[in-house]
Every structure is written in C-alpha cells, then in structure tokens.
Amino acid sequence: MITEIRPYWKNYIGGKWVDGSEGGRLAVSNPATGQPICEVARGTARDIDTAVAAARACFNSRVLLDMPPHERGALMFRIADELDKAADEIAAVECYDNGKTLANGRGEIPLTQRYLRYYGGMADKLEGRQIPLGAGLLDYTIHAPYGVSAQIVPWNGPLPVGARSIACALVTGNTVVLKSPEDSPLSLFLFAEACERAGVPEGAVNIVCGLGAEAGTALAAHDDIDHIVFTGSVETGKSVLRAAAERVIPCVMELGGKSGGIVFPDADLGQVAASAAAGIFKHAGQICSAGSRLIVHRSVYDEVVSRLVAKAEALSVGPGIDDCDLGPLISARQLDRVEALCRAGVSEGAMLATGGTRVAGLDGYFMAPTVFTDVRPDMRIAQEEFFGPVVVVIPFDTTDEAIAIANGTDYGLAAGLYTRDLTLAHTVADRLVAGQVYVNQWWAGGVETPFGGMKRSGYGREKGQEALLGYVQTKNVGIKL
Ligand code: NAD
C-alpha cells in the first residue's frame, strides 16, 4: 500500500504539466487527520484561458472528429488499461485527500474503467436518422459535438464523476477543460497521466485545479466554451447557470438531493435495514443520491429504527486507510455544518436515536453515524441536505401520505421503496418525482442506467446510453437530389 503522497502536483494543460501561471499553490489536507499532505498548482483565470485555448485548438484541428469513431472508442479502452498501472496510488490518494475507505478507494478504479469501456464501446454506435421527405430529397441527421466542454467536478467522487463526463465528451468529438475540486484533486491528476500515456491528443483533455471562486467562475463564464457539465451544490449550480445564460450555452446539471425511501409494512425488514444503512453511511453520507430520509409505516416503525440503529452502532469509524467502515467528512467546515444541523433537529423536537455529534478523541473530521426519529417532514433536518452520515426516520399511515412526504422537498434526485407487492411498487414508483427510483435496494442501477435529477436536483443525465445525448447537438442535412 502506498503511504507516501507526492509533495507537489501540476496542472495538465495542452498536453503539458504546468505550474500555476501566477506561481500559486493550494494546500491539500487529509480529512482523517486535518494535516496538510501535499500542494497542487493553483489554477487561476489565466490558466483557464490557456486551457480553453488548448481545448479550442484541439477541437478546431478536428483530430478527434476526423478519427473513425471506433478509434475514439479504442482510446477510452487504452485510458482504462492505463489506469491499472496507477491503481494503488489512486486508492491511496482517495483515502488521503478525500477520506474514502480503502475499499471505496479501490472500488473507484474498476468503476471508472467500466465508464470508459462502456462509452468507448458506444463510440461507433451513436447513429443519426434518415428522414423520408419524398422523391428527389434526401434528409439525414448528424450528432454534432458542441466543441469545448467545460466540466466542474465536486470533491466527493472526482475520478468516476470526472471520467464519465470526459469519456462522453471525447467519444462524441468534444474537447474538455475540467476544473478539479480543490479539496480532493489528486485522483484526477492520475487520470490525466493515464490519458497522456494512452495517447489522448494534446489539448483534448485539460485538468486544472483551482478554487471554485477563482478558476471555477472563470471557466463557467469563459467566452470560448460551448457546453457545461456541472456536478455540485444547488447554490453553485445556479451561479453557473447564470453565467451560461449570458452566452446561451447548454448545461448538464447534477445537483444535490434529499432522497427518501418508503418502507411499506410487508417489506423484508432485514433487507431494509441493510440497504438503508448502506444508502446513508457509505462515504459517510457524502453522496448526492444518499438515502437521507427513511419514510416508514407506523406499524413497523420501531422495528426498523432499532435495526437501523444496530447497524449504525456496529460501524467502525476512523481513517479510511485503516480500512474502517466510516471515514471522515471532507472538512472542519462541513463537520461544523452537519453538527449544527443536528442541533437544529433536536431543538425542533426530533429525537436522536444514535449519534448526533462528532466522534470524540479523533483528530480528523469524523461524524458519528446518526439516526433521528420522531421527525416531521417540515423540519429542517427533513428538508436540507446534510451531506453527512445522518438519516431522518419519518412515520406514515397511508400510501398517499408516504408519497407526499417523499416528494415534499425541493429536490428530486433519487427515491426508493421497500415492498414485496409488485403492484404497489410500480404504482408508487410512477408517482415518485425523482430521476431514479430504487425498489428494495438503494442504488439499484449503475454505469448503464441514466442518472440525474428532477426539480432542484438538476437536469440532463449522466451514465447510461442517454448521457451521450447531452454531449451532442442534432444537425439536420436536407438535400435536393
Ligand atoms: P460545490 O458546489 O461547493 O462545488 C462543486 C464544484 O464547483 C467544485 O469544484 C468547486 O470548486 C466548484 N465551484 C464552487 N463555487 C463555484 C463557482 N462560483 N463557480 C464555478 N464553480 C464553483 O459542491 P461540493 O461541496 O464540492 O459537493 C457537494 C455537493 O455536490 C452536494 O450538494 C452534492 O449533492 C452534490 N453532488 C451531486 C452529484 C450528482 O450527480 N447529482 C454528485 C456528487 C455531488
């Protein structure tokens, strides 16, 4: 296992590894200790300019566009293969800068490879249509790339989230400038190294780390980008959308969530407890589609709570590199926020069944796995995203009430339900307002299934075949023969 982190990392722009143009550096810390572990070049507006110019030059050169689609696909396969060489280092940096558990850190590599191979395999299968117009006319459509795709990635899953968007962009002939997250930038640098070794053309992929308020705003507002993929919070998403509106460019918006799972009385309660615990405690709840609300029929409420609490209290909490079950939150700020929202829950009258505070005696930003009971749907803890290991359990009496509670937030990323009754499952799935509905297993779905939000959780889809359509625009060609 790698324990030494390289002390300094450069940005990857135009096929070269470069310092910040203004000489600045950003410190990266380990959330499990609070201690700095390395520095990265600080990308500013000037570096974003250089990166966009490199991406534009590459796009205009048509090097990707003129490549037969199957060769663009082969390029994705080569990047995936190259990631094998970096697997140990990727797993380590995911623990050290991101706070992932070792198992999760290791899991990021095959997941990322699957995205690359999935979209690599689709590169030569995105076909246009021929539209009949009658004698003497020929009409067909082309999936044209947008051009330079600007991508902004959050800290919680930078490698797979970044790689899946880059893969969609490249196989459709776009070029990319990606602003990596300042809290956990390292795995995407290793991805850029894999791109370089795989022979990705210079300028096709540019990875710039910088602060959101500096490099992020500069990228979203840049005059020479054609497309934005943003994954992050609703508030930041709104500011990115305002910048995009100025230049009328399309966006894929993957934003936050407050996803609820409904537990009907006939559900397998052992399955419910295991699925609900995984759904909220994986990566300490720092997953956009975490199951942060559990909406439980009153007749099984106490039973579900006691099983869930037992699961929460059985988890080991500590540094991911030590293979604990639950790692830290990303920052002191985020830990303060989660704790403060827990206190708000208590003051609004919710009961803490377990957890509710940081873990005493550990140096990093560790939050105890937390279960709230006696929660009303209008409480702040039932409406606001924690982005931490906190689940609120809300009772219901009728199916209509359960659906109303599940749909009763601003978000619409994911929803779930647990029942053995297929008719009930289909009926409720139809009425839940969410981009994905999980039945009897939180996160049922994967690389192949479209993922994205409704309502304030955003729009556009990543993952699955559908994602590719977010990276192309239809061009119609009509010909008088
Ligand atoms: P964030 O919005 O603070 O930051 C996301 C990215 O945007 C970072 O790279 C950041 O540097 C950049 N950024 C910040 N301010 C910016 C600005 N003004 N202009 C341009 N870029 C800016 O989010 P976060 O804290 O990194 O991530 C957590 C949030 O992301 C949660 O709300 C979570 O639900 C959401 N998320 C959503 C998905 C999804 O697929 N729907 C996936 C992961 C995370």
pLDDT cut 70: percent of the chain above it: 100
> Rounded mean pLDDT of the chain?
97
Catalytic residue status for 193: no
Give me ligand 1 centre to Cα 256, in Å: 9
Q: Are 260 and 412 in contact (CB under 8 A)?
A: no
Q: Are 41 and 19 in contact (CB under 8 A)?
A: yes
Q: Say if strands 8-9 and 175-180 run parallel, antiparallel, or are unpaired.
A: unpaired
| Cβ 461 under 6 angstroms from ligand 1 | no
Q: Which two tokens stand for residue 12?
A: 């990857």
Cα distance between residue 1 and residue 348, in whole Å: 46
Which residues pair with residue 209 across a beta bridge? Answer: 180
Give me ligand 1 centre to Cα 67, in Å: 33
Catalytic residue status for 288: yes
Q: Is residue 4 over pLDDT 90? A: no
Residue of higher predicted confidence among 320 and 13? 13
Contacts of 320 (CB under 8 A, 6+ apart): 32, 94, 95, 99, 100, 101, 102, 104, 105, 327, 328
Mean local confidence (pLDDT), 112-129: 98
Q: Are 330 and 184 in contact (CB under 8 A)?
A: yes
Residue-wise pLDDT tens digits, 157-185:
999 999 999 999 999 999 999 999 999 99
| Cβ 220 under 6 angstroms from ligand 1 | yes
pTM score: 0.97
Confidence at 112, pLDDT banded by 50, 70, 90:
very high
Which of 168, 238, 288 has most ligand 1 atoms within 8 Å of its beta carbon, as the pocket-test mutant?
288
Q: Is residue 73 over pLDDT 90? A: yes
Residue-wise pLDDT tens digits, 422-457:
999 999 999 999 999 999 999 999 999 999 999 999
| Cβ 231 under 6 angstroms from ligand 1 | yes
Q: Is residue 101 over pLDDT 80? A: yes
Residue-wise pLDDT tens digits, 345-367:
999 999 999 999 999 999 999 99
Q: Is residue 316 over pLDDT 90? A: yes
Cα distance between residue 165 and residue 314, in whole Å: 36
Q: Say if strands 137-145 and 472-480 run parallel, antiparallel, or are unpaired.
A: antiparallel
Q: Is residue 261 over pLDDT 90? A: yes
- 458 φψ region: left (φ > 0), alpha (ψ -120 to 50), beta (else): left
| Cβ 215 under 6 angstroms from ligand 1 | no
Looking from the CA of residue 385, the nearest atom of ligand 1 is 32
Confidence at 130, pLDDT banded by 50, 70, 90:
very high
Mean local confidence (pLDDT), 92-106: 95
| Cβ 210 under 6 angstroms from ligand 1 | no
Q: Is residue 314 over pLDDT 90? A: yes
**In angstroms, what CA-CA distances link 118 with 65, 85, 161, 448?**
19, 20, 14, 8
Q: Which one is catalytic: 168, 288, 324, 342?
A: 288
Looking from the CA of residue 153, the nearest atom of ligand 1 is 9
Residue-wise pLDDT tens digits, 22-37:
999 999 999 999 999 9
**In angstroms, what CA-CA distances link 384 with 14, 248, 259, 344, 391?**
40, 30, 10, 11, 12
Give me ligand 1 centre to Cα 84, in Å: 28
Q: Is residue 3 over pLDDT 80? A: no
| Cβ 82 under 6 angstroms from ligand 1 | no
Q: Is residue 1 over pLDDT 90? A: no
Q: Are 193 and 95 in contact (CB under 8 A)?
A: no
Q: By alpha-carbon position, which residue is closest to atom 30 of ligand 1?
A: 232
